[in-house]
Amino acid sequence: MPMTTRPTEVDEYRIIVETMGNGFVTESGAAFRPKKQIALALQLQASLGLRIGDVLSLRVNSFKNGKLETVEIKTGKLQYREINQAVTDLVKDYAIENALSPTDRLFKEKVRDVQTQLKLVVDHLGLSNISTHSFRKMFATTVYNDNDRDIRLVQQILNHNSVATTERYIPIYQSQIDRACANINFVV
């Protein structure tokens, strides 16, 4: 039975993005060339919580005045919200570096390209149950934990129709189970 895609942990996220952006050499000596655009796409997915297809469809002008404005492909719903200034700066610098006009798409890659390249990096790093959706789940988990575990807030940000869908994004870690159980003592 295949395992469910899980949220990427922050340390895994950093090493995946770094490895994707810098490339690596396999044990057999084959070179994996740097994929800076894919590294950027994964950073945007983790920072914005969008599906990878939505990230790949972003245009330079999707980022205006510190806000993200885009329509989700799957749902047709508008995403219009404030975003971290570092994200806006990253996109702006990328657009300037690549001579992109405001209406240009940020990426030429297709979803399957990103998934294939990510699998190569994840396998190289010895990680499991990580796909592009892991970055959206990491975003959801971070928002949940940083905002008093407000599941409805996460639901709204991700544009989910039900809280049940959103709940599947938020994991319970073994360390949480251990901590909760270790504190229970009814010994008389």
pLDDT tens by residue, 23-33:
999 889 999 99
Spell out the domains of the chain, with CATH numbers in brackets.
10-182 (1.10.443.10)
Higher pLDDT, 173 or 33: 33
Give CA 41 to chain center in angstroms: 8
pLDDT band at 159 (very low <50, low <70, confident <90, very high): very high
Query: How far is the C-alpha of 122 from the C-alpha of 9, rounded, in Å?
Result: 13
DSSP element (H, E) containing 95: helix 85-97
Q: How many whole angstroms separate alpha carbon 85 and alpha carbon 94?
A: 14
Distant-in-sequence, close-in-space partners of 55: CB < 8 Å, separation ≥ 6: 41, 44, 45, 48, 107
pTM: 0.90
CB 135 within 8 A of CB 47: no
Residue 185's pLDDT is what?
80
Using the predicted structure, report yes or no on whether residue 173 has a pLDDT greater than 60. yes
